[in-house]
Amino acid sequence: MNQSRGLSLLLVTPALIVVLALFVYPLGYSLISAFTDRAGAFSLENFDKAFELYLTDTIFTVVIIGVSTALIAAVSIAIGGYLTLGENKTAVAILAWLYRWPLFVPFIVAAQCMRTFLAKNGLMNNSLVSLGLMDVASTQSFLDWRGIIVTFVWKQAPFVTLMVAGAMASLDRSTIDAARNLGASRLRILAEIVVPQIRGTLMVGLILSFVTMMSVLSVPIMVSGGSPTMMTVDMAYRINSHGDYGVANALGFMSYLLTGAAAYFYLRQSVRDRSA
């Protein structure tokens, strides 16, 4: 069905209006708000205040999300690799069935699960104690930065794995089989043949995860109550307790910058894929 250019534009216009009105406009609004003082003049005072109050939290956010992203990459390559190269059909089937359960669990439900699971008296510690792997005295709560990382990896790794395993499944098997016939180990095939070919998909998955984790409010509030905390919690606090849009938007701008680097890779990748 070939449409004229005018009809095509007309069809796409309503969707574009939604994106412009509900995303581009508020985004511009936040940028202006970040760079103006209360009188409406250009100023960097919001950033001074944001740095003064929340520099630790910004570093904390970068470290948590960086570590989570690295772990998600490792988990998704390991699971995807086994699903692609595993020789035991039953084990592959069990793993394929197992790994995806957290995929559609909402963040807020994941946070509630972890809030109980990782607690000092949670199921994780209780199971370790019952198995005799740990004694009661040495149990500790993981409801801090570690809990946030565990929750992020638990929730996001299946998503990236789904993409990675899909890309791996559609690879040309002949090179893999040839390498296998020449006696290459499966680990080496994974590292040197499989992963280089799915790097694009892996990157897109990781960047989508990165941006998602930068936006989650429920997990840092519910899993780790204390300080330091993540920038999302600080933004909500500036709004709810002080009505301070300037500093909240300055923090927002900083989180755009952090994801901007990631988005740059993402867009470059998709542009390159399209021109290929």
In the range 132-171, which residues lie near another protein by CB under 8 A?
A: 136, 154, 166, 170
Q: Is 116 in the site for another protein (CB under 8 A)?
A: yes
Contact call for residue 74 and another protein (CB under 8 A)? no
Of 230-269, which residues contact another protein (CB under 8 A)? 232, 235-236, 239, 245, 248-249, 251-253, 255-256, 259, 262-263, 266-267
Does 19 bind another protein (CB under 8 A)? Our answer is: yes
Compute the distance between CA of residue 39 and CA of residue 16 in angstroms, rounded to an integer. 33
In the complex, least distance from residue 101 CB atom to another protein, rounded to whole angstroms: 5
Site string for another protein, 24-43 (x = CB under 8 A): xxxx-xx--x----------
Sequential DSSP letters for 163-181: HHHHHHHTS-HHHHHHHHH
**Upstream peptide bond of 228 is cis (omega within 30 degrees of 0):** yes
Q: How far, in Å, CA of 92 to CA of 98, rounded? A: 10
Sole binder of another protein in the list 64, 110, 160, 206 (CB under 8 A): 110
CA distance 56 to 84: 42
Closest CA to 262 of 215, 196, 194: 215
Q: Locate 240 and state its tokens.
A: 């709810």
Count of C-beta atoms within a 10 Å radius of residue 271: 10
63 makes contact with another protein (CB under 8 A): no
Interface with another protein (CB under 8 A), residue total 93
User: Do the beta carbons of residue 78 and residue 85 sit within 8 Å?
Assistant: no
Looking at 39, 52, 130, 182, which residue binds another protein (CB under 8 A)? 130
Task: Choose between 205 and 228: whose C-beta lies nearer to another protein.
Answer: 205
Residue number, 30 or 197, with CB nearest to another protein? 30
